[in-house]
Structure 1
Amino acid sequence: MVIVAAVDRSESTDRIVTQGRKLAEAFTGELHVVHVLSRGELRDIERASFETSGEAVEMERIKEVAREIARESAADIAPDATAVGLVGEAAEEVTDYASDHDAEYIVVGGRKLTPVGKAIFGSTTQSILLEADCPVVATLRS
């Protein structure tokens, strides 16, 4: 059983990895911490690399950068998690990865709008909630 924790670079990363780890432990599953580099981030990395090396960055190098972000996100909370780096549109990449690995759950971040718990989600979280083939757990910040 695979649990996918989809992380970005926000302060919700620790909550996402912690919840993913709890689910993986509860279901004796495997935690995969996934970070997706967006096209904009990819362009920034390519531009910086081109300016320093004169060559375009290879896709595998870009995925390694994303994988390292995932690895760093999990390091203190779930050091045994599988770190995964992907490139593209975040919601699509996360749901495709979860589907390809028969994930039991996807864990994502969100934020609360009011104290009564009315939640508002970003477009990536909303897309994952609507498109995933498995249950999605949203960890909310105040």
Structure 2
Amino acid sequence: MALETVVLAVGPGDADRIDRLAEETVDIARPSAATVVLGHVFTDDEYAESLDRLGFDTTTSEVSPNDVADRHATIRELAERLDDAGVDHAVGGAVGDHGDSIVGLAEEADADLVIVGGRQRSPAGKAVFGSTAQKVMLSAPCPVTFVRADTK
């Protein structure tokens, strides 16, 4: 199987994982010349907050989740690192449940791999709070690489 498209799922908790996510994504995508889709998923509340925080004027035109994701600080930082490493990339945004929307972005991009970040949690913690990464791993249309946060 050729690796042509990689979706890097980025969420609100990934700002502290940028180094690891960028490093792992470059290590995977660069050797195969794969295009990376930087996918940012917003809940309805996160989307509304981001529209306001980023200064979008929604009264004059419709703003897409791609537009908002493209201006998000975490996406811009990752895009810069991919540029520095010579890795082609695009941005994809979505609004909805994080896990389901990441799977949707992977399907839409016809991804060969999804990369998700997360932190280690106990089984009880996952059962009580859910796990976006777990949902993606079980539902994605392709293999998933989990990048754990540094545990320093």
- Measured against the shorter chain, the TM-score band is 0.7 to 0.9
Identity of aligned residues (%): 25
Q: Distance in 2 between matches of 1:134 and 1:55?
A: 39
Using structure 1 for the length normalisation, give the TM-score: 0.76
Q: AA paired with 1:85?
A: G
For the 8 Å contact 1:108–1:138, the answer to whether it is kept is: yes
For the 8 Å contact 2:6–2:34, the answer to whether it is kept is: yes
For the 8 Å contact 2:40–2:75, the answer to whether it is kept is: no
For the 8 Å contact 2:66–2:91, the answer to whether it is kept is: no
Q: AA paired with 2:132?
A: T
What do the CA deviations read for 1:2-51 (whole angstroms, capped 9, x no partner)? 011111243113322321222111322111111112112123346x48xx
Match of 1:108 among 116, 122, 128: 116
Q: Distance in 2 between matches of 1:35 and 1:53?
A: 20
Q: Distance in 2 between matches of 1:20 and 1:54?
A: 33
Provide structure 2 residue ranges, at least 5 long, that are not aligned to the other structure: none
Deviates more, 1:101-110 or 1:37-46: 37-46
Q: AA paired with 1:101?
A: A
Using structure 2 for the length normalisation, give the TM-score: 0.72
Q: State the superposition RMSD in angstroms.
A: 2.9
Q: Equivalences for 1:47-86 in 2 at 5 Å?
A: 48=52, 55=59, 58-60=62-64, 62-69=65-72, 71-79=75-83, 80-86=88-94
How many pairs align?
134
Q: AA paired with 2:27?
A: K
For the 8 Å contact 1:63–1:87, the answer to whether it is kept is: no
Residue in 1 aligned with 2:147?
139
The 3-state SS of whatever aligns with 1:36 is strand
The 3-state SS of whatever aligns with 2:33 is coil
For the 8 Å contact 1:91–1:125, the answer to whether it is kept is: yes
Q: AA paired with 1:38?
A: T
Deviation at 1:98, TM superposition (A): 0.9
Q: Distance in 2 between matches of 1:59 and 1:42?
A: 10
What do the CA deviations read for 1:84-103 (whole angstroms, capped 9, x no partner)? 22222221121111112221
Q: 1:126 to 1:5 in 2, by over 3 A?
A: same
Q: Distance in 1 between matches of 2:95 and 2:70?
A: 10
The 3-state SS of whatever aligns with 1:109 is strand
Match of 1:13 among 13, 18, 40: 18
The 3-state SS of whatever aligns with 1:58 is coil
The structure with more strand, counted as a fraction of residues: 1
Q: AA paired with 1:63?
A: N
